[in-house]
Amino acid sequence: MKNVILELSLLQKEIGELASPAEQVRKIVDSISAIAGCDVCSLYLQDQNNDLVLMASHGLTHTGPVTIPSGRGLVGLVVKSRHPINIPKASEHPDFYYVEGSSEERFQSFCGIPLVRYGKVIGVLVVQSVNAEALSPESEGFLVTLSSQLAHLVADMPLSLRGAYFNTYLRGVKGSSGIGIGQAVLCDHGDLFSVPDEPCSDIDGTILEWHALLRRVQQEIKQEENSLGKLLNDSVSSIFSTYSSLLDDQALIGKVEQEIRNGNWLPGALRKSVQYFADLFLAMEDPYLRARHEDIHHLGNKLLASLQSSNSLAERAAQIPHVVLIGAEVSISDIAAVPGDKLAGIICFGGSTLSHTAVLANALGVPAVMGVGLLKNLRNRERFIVDGNSGQIVRYPTDMLCAEFQHLIDEERQLLNKLSALRELPALTPDGFAVRLFTNSGLLADLSPGLRHGAQGIGLYRTEIPFMVRDSFPSEQDQELVYRQVFEAYAGKPVYMRTLDIGGDKQLPYFPIDDEANPALGWRGIRFTLDNIQLLMTQVRAMLRAAGDEGDLHILLPMVSATEELTTFTELLDEALKQLREEGVAARKPKTGVMVEVPAAIAQLPFWRRHIDFVSIGSNDLSQYLLALDRNNARVANRYDHIHPAVIQELYRVVRIAGEHHLPLSLCGEMASDPLAVILLVGMGISTLSMSATKLPRIKYLIRALPQRRAAAIFKQCLSLDNVQDIRALLHETLRSLNLGELVK
């Protein structure tokens, strides 16, 4: 029997090299019929009406599009039954459905395997043979295993491969809320091998551009060689001569020209040519020549970088009215290159809710979806809908769907206009319960939006963000400079600064912690900083210096789960204060508190009362750890819900313990900006909430309309419900009855 993993990875590699989805599905059915030794292999995917569209077939003849109506035929039966159907004579089965004009009658056996992704049947893989024999159990098992992986490969393919676009929903994780519709501007950071093919609109002009590029890069190489020449040893300077001679090589020059004449744009022509020569070198016997494939790859990247600097992202964006930035990573400088009023959304293949891209998007109020996975065959100007509210994007959206989403965008705009009038008003419920609304921050860019929306302080300053946007650990002075601007902007207002919370999903580019099997349970937050006490000491000194004797500094400790962590930190803080005072700095002892995000912290709070001045609930991590659900894993994202009954019960426990021990309490996770969750939080008596700036007006609007007594009654009712759906339904109903349904569209 064949090795399924090996066959699948070969298939995956071959598919990856093909440019269009049409070629890819063809390859899939051809390869599977060869691997399984069957006469026919067909791939069906479900459309939005649950009809099954034939994507490609090896063996069946069909002249036009083939669609099997929902629930019809053996294929429909596979979808309904959700298990393989493997029979020797298909035509004798009561559910047999003949596909007109397919000459299917020649094939007797039928084996259909459901393609399932995230619990939903998305299509069916069918193999058929002329012989009236069912597949052997081994072959069936092989196809079942293959299909479980295949479902992920084909899920985002456009259903119509003839150019009519279709609404393909792809799930990621929420980066920043809101909806945006726009055209893609690809953010690739210079790896030539990720450049897509694009049609070339002006062949002669592009060939001239290619020659100009060659001259420019020759020049750049000469300059680099001149300026570094004296410092270089012979072996390094020989690299320059290798590059120069490659740039003069007629074979390379001619190959790129030929690719352009074949209709590819310059970056695509360059990629194909460089790949071609790199492969040639790689196949050589001589180890010296074989190693030259790296030179040609480096040179290719150099050419691309030079080309892109003359065709910058800003220039590409300038030609598009509504820009969706998209790429493996979207950097802060990419975002900065697009004027704010043009930026409709951001899509990242990787990343998480807390990637600095997401944090910046939040601060700027730009919808963002992270972690959608690699999108193949992307083109500049391709249309996307970015739905940051649900953490999904729509690829190939139809005009009709865009119009529906546009309607939601317009409603949202009207709501925000209405809410801007609330800026100076207090967040007070109609029955007099006052809520302090703080903002979460981490970039200097989001300081002013917070103030603009009327934040009463910073409830969570994520210090890892200034660490993330650099190439190395910032010095005490660097940090002091950044923190000082925070205190200046929020003069007279409380600022809760969290010590460095890296590890898990928050990685520093210059200090990767990537060798852990369970990063979320690993070296992160205070565990990391106490093991790197020099970093913590530097950071605390910088905070104390920046706050001086006027800043209202509160130090917040992340991921605390043990008393020793607190006692060690207290010693360090005392030592930092002593040092600074000896140095003549007017440092004041700040208030210190813990994030309640590791469930173990809850039971310990009474013991910790003498070490801390306040607590802040990090509901994002607390929910993740209570539910054992990775909040940044798109596969389980739909199961993660901070309104889970267990989360609510535990939050209430924290509220009660904090009340008994007179510990001031706030909440700074995503819950604070979710209107449904806020009904519960106000209902259980939490009176300080911290959220991203753009969410603040909406929450204030809710609080001003929601009597606390009513919230408390709803909360009590929710305590008796055992599932998220019922709780959500009750909360939605509450909002509707208060005429606040528009807050959660």
Q: How many residues line the site for Mg ion (CB under 5 A)?
A: 3
Question: Which is nearer to Mg ion, 464 or 621 (by Cβ)?
Answer: 621
Binding segment toward Mg ion, per CB under 5 A, in 133-141, 508-516, 542-550, 610-618: 610-618
Residue 597 touches Mg ion, criterion: CB under 5 A: yes
Q: How far is the CB of 187 from Mg ion (least distance, A)?
A: 27
Question: Which is nearer to ligand PEP, 73 or 503 (by Cβ)?
Answer: 503
Contact between 733 and 727 under an 8 Å Cβ cutoff? The reply is no
Helical pair 234-248 and 250-261, crossing angle rounded to 10 deg: 50
Is residue 668 among the annotated active site residues?
Answer: yes
Q: How far is the CB of 570 from ligand PEP (least distance, A)?
A: 22
Q: What does 462 bind: Mg ion, ligand PEP, none (CB cut-off 5 to 8 Å by kind)?
A: ligand PEP
The rounded distance, in Å, linking the Cα atoms of 372 and 388 is 12
Burial 586-596 (b: 16+ CB within 10 A, else e): ebeebebbbbb
Q: How far is the CB of 150 from ligand PEP (least distance, A)?
A: 35
Question: Which is nearer to ligand PEP, 382 or 621 (by Cβ)?
Answer: 621
Decide: helix, strand or coil at residue 343.
strand
Residue 259 touches Mg ion, criterion: CB under 5 A: no
Nearest Cα residue to 547 out of 464, 459, 484, 489 = 484
Task: Estimate to the nearest angstrom the gap between the alpha carbon of 22 and the chain centroid.
Answer: 27
The rounded distance, in Å, linking the Cα atoms of 131 and 664 is 76
Q: What does 668 bind: Mg ion, ligand PEP, none (CB cut-off 5 to 8 Å by kind)?
A: ligand PEP
Residue 565 touches Mg ion, criterion: CB under 5 A: no
The rounded distance, in Å, linking the Cα atoms of 169 and 188 is 23
Decide: helix, strand or coil at residue 386.
strand
Burial of 17 (0-12, 13-18, 19+ CB in 10 A): exposed
Q: What does 542 bind: Mg ion, ligand PEP, none (CB cut-off 5 to 8 Å by kind)?
A: none
Q: How far is the CB of 666 from ligand PEP (least distance, A)?
A: 10
Catalytic residue among 41, 187, 668, 718: 668
Q: What does 175 bind: Mg ion, ligand PEP, none (CB cut-off 5 to 8 Å by kind)?
A: none
Structure tokens at 192: 């030539």
User: CA of 560: how far to CAs of 15, 530, 600, 608, in Å?
Assistant: 47, 11, 9, 11
Residue 442 touches Mg ion, criterion: CB under 5 A: no
Nearest Cα residue to 616 out of 507, 457, 482, 476 = 457
Q: How far is the CB of 668 from ligand PEP (least distance, A)?
A: 5
Q: What does 259 bind: ligand PEP, Mg ion, none (CB cut-off 5 to 8 Å by kind)?
A: none
The rounded distance, in Å, linking the Cα atoms of 139 and 37 is 9
Residue 630 touches Mg ion, criterion: CB under 5 A: no
- Count CA within 13 A, CB hemisphere, residue 110: 23
Sheet holding 168-171, edge to edge: 168-171, 392-395, 383-387, 179-186, 323-327, 343-348, 368-370, 173-176
Geometric angle at alpha carbon 633, from 627 and 639, rounded to 5°: 45
Question: Which is nearer to Mg ion, 335 or 458 (by Cβ)?
Answer: 458
Amino acid identity for residue 568 in this structure: T
Binding-site member from 449, 551, 618, 683 for Mg ion (CB under 5 A): 618
Q: What does 354 bind: Mg ion, ligand PEP, none (CB cut-off 5 to 8 Å by kind)?
A: ligand PEP
Q: How far is the CB of 620 from Mg ion (least distance, A)?
A: 5
Longest Cα–Cα distance in the chain = 94
Q: How far is the CB of 529 from Mg ion (least distance, A)?
A: 14
Q: What does 665 bind: Mg ion, ligand PEP, none (CB cut-off 5 to 8 Å by kind)?
A: none
Binding-site member from 621, 630, 650, 670 for Mg ion (CB under 5 A): 621
Q: How far is the CB of 501 from ligand PEP (least distance, A)?
A: 6
φ and ψ at residue 579, rounded to 5 degrees: -55, -50
Instruction: Give the residue ranges of DSSP H helices in 371-424.
Output: 399-419
Q: Where do we find the tokens 């050419």?
A: 303
Q: What does 460 bind: Mg ion, ligand PEP, none (CB cut-off 5 to 8 Å by kind)?
A: ligand PEP
- By CB under 6 A, name the binding residues for ligand PEP: 354, 460, 462, 501, 597, 618-621, 668-669
Q: What does 674 bind: ligand PEP, Mg ion, none (CB cut-off 5 to 8 Å by kind)?
A: none
Binding segment toward Mg ion, per CB under 5 A, in 274-282, 492-500, 576-584, 611-619: 611-619
Q: How far is the CB of 618 from Mg ion (least distance, A)?
A: 4
φ and ψ at residue 373, rounded to 5 degrees: 85, 165
φ and ψ at residue 734, rounded to 5 degrees: -60, -45
Contact between 339 and 169 under an 8 Å Cβ cutoff? The reply is no
Is residue 554 among the annotated active site residues?
Answer: no
Residue 188 touches Mg ion, criterion: CB under 5 A: no
Question: Which is nearer to ligand PEP, 480 or 597 (by Cβ)?
Answer: 597
The rounded distance, in Å, linking the Cα atoms of 689 and 667 is 5
Question: Which is nearer to ligand PEP, 208 or 646 (by Cβ)?
Answer: 646
Structure tokens at 43: 């791939």
Helical pair 645-660 and 600-608, crossing angle rounded to 10 deg: 0
Question: Which is nearer to ligand PEP, 166 or 461 (by Cβ)?
Answer: 461
Catalytic residue among 58, 297, 356, 554: 356
Residue positions annotated with a catalytic role: 356, 668
Instruction: Kindly list the residues in this chain that would bind Mg ion in the complex (CB under 5 A).
Output: 597, 618, 621
